[in-house]
Amino acid sequence: MGFGFETTAEEALQGVDLSGKTALVTGANSGLGFETARTLAAAGAKVIVTARDAEKTAETVARLKATVPGGAFDGVALELGSLASAREAADHVLALAPKLDILINNAGVMNTPFGRTADGFETQFGVDHLGHFVFTCRLVPSLLAAAPARVVCVSSAAHMLADVQWDDINWDRTPYNKYRAYAQAKTANILFARELDRRLAGRGVHAYSLHPGGISTGLGRYMSAEDRASMGEAFKVNAVGDPMVRTAVFKTIPQGAATSVWAAVAPELDGQGGAYLFDCQVAPLAVTGHAGVMPHALDSEKAARLWSVSEDMVGERFPLN
């Protein structure tokens, strides 16, 4: 069947048997993460889920077990705003899953007021990128052991608003703009997936990034009606053409989770590691009048630079070559 804007996660997994596979979904306590975990388990996978603390994680596992009778679930607390938590959670996962077939980096925050993580990073870059960077890189042994394996990074069309602010990533000197800070983090998600794929593709681990679509979930809890209007205007001014025409139409949560699970299993993506996806398709380059991926997010030199900068910021080296 042909997949597109209206495809649901269940439809994207129709006929797929994930028995014997282990998947991990971050931020699975609600919205897209919960639906992603649910449908992967319904397709036969053992699913490890994360939430921000032990109580939320246990509650998430209980709800998933009630929703998918017979489903195999486990939970690990992961606070992405703390590198110590990311490291501890990764160690826990390595013990639970010596082989990890699918990692879906779904958790994140969006358009938050200015703040700092536990390690002093701007909140959106720290949570959406650096936390996942450390968590993912530390899970590489399990991914390699399961190869062929896949890493899926949930980004956003918001990446169109901004490149990485290389001279002031942490917003130490630049007046804070929550939309551009979010856009920077989402660009980082795409660049990270591209560089991770470059480093691991030869050993059977591929990485992808994606725009799930516009979905009304808890992710938008910091946004007022005025914020949404302002963001729409920002896209008109900063992006090419009118890329938000389709994404302005909200998807349901099952539709929003579709591209994540498709990225995790679609055989047609085998030779397209590092690709940015939306609507269960590989996104084209953004051109006037059409949505797609911006050139700044496809730049291989920027992807390598982000890896090096991220290592410097977290104080840890992940050569992975």
Tell me whether residue 33 is in a domain: yes
How many domains are contained in the chain?
1
Q: What is the pLDDT of residue 60?
A: 98
Q: Which two tokens stand for residue 163?
A: 């490149």
Domain range for 283 is 9-314
Give the DSSP H/E element, type plus range, for residue 25.
strand 22-25
Distance CA 213, CA 259 (A): 9
Both tokens assigned to 215: 């979905």
Q: What angle do CA 291, 295, 300 make, to 5 degrees?
A: 135
What strand order describes the sheet that includes 149-154? 73-77, 46-51, 22-25, 102-105, 149-154, 205-211, 276-278, 281-282
Is residue 212 domain-resident?
Answer: yes
Tens of pLDDT, residue by residue over 216-271, are 655 545 555 566 555 455 444 444 334 344 444 689 999 999 999 999 999 999 99
What CA–CA distance (Å, rounded) separates 170 from 181? Answer: 9
The reported pLDDT for the residue numbered 222 is 54
Catalytic member of 179, 182, 208, 276:
182
Look at residue 293 and give its three-state secondary structure: strand
The full DSSP string for 166-219 is TT-TT-SSSPP-HHHHHHHHHHHHHHHHHHHHHHHGGGTEEEEEEE---B-SGG
CATH number at residue 105: 3.40.50.720
What pLDDT score does 211 carry?
A: 96
Interacting residues of 309 by C-beta distance below 8 A, sequence separation 6+: 166, 169
pLDDT of residue 266: 98
Whether residue 49 lies inside any domain: the answer is: yes
Which pTM value belongs to this model?
0.92
Beta bridge partners of 102: 23, 150
Residue 182 annotated to the active site: yes
Averaged pLDDT score across all residues of the chain: 91
As given in the structure block, the two tokens for residue 222 are 């910091």
321 in any annotated domain: no
Residue scoring higher pLDDT (1 or 206): 206
**Among residues of the chain, what percentage have pLDDT more than 70?**
88
pLDDT at 65 (0 to 100): 98
Give the pLDDT confidence score for residue 309 in this predicted structure: 98
Whether residue 81 is contained in a domain is answered as yes
Give pLDDT tens digits for 129-176. 999 999 999 999 999 999 999 999 999 999 999 999 999 999 999 999
Ramachandran category for residue 231: left, alpha or beta (phi over 0 → left; psi -120 to 50 → alpha): alpha
CA dist 204 and 271 (Å) reads 11
Answer whether residue 42 is part of any domain: yes
Q: How wide is the angle at C-alpha 261 spanned by C-alphas 197 and 32, nearest 5°?
A: 110
What average pLDDT does this structure show over 11-15? 98
More confident residue, 290 or 222: 290
The predicted pLDDT at position 235 comes to: 43
Tokens of 228: 């949404």
- Which residues are paired to 161 by β-bridges? none
DSSP 269: G
Confidence of residue 214 (pLDDT cuts 50, 70, 90): confident
- Given this model, what pLDDT does residue 250 score? 84
Write out pLDDT tens, residues 73-95: 999 999 999 999 999 999 999 99
Q: Is residue 75 part of a domain?
A: yes
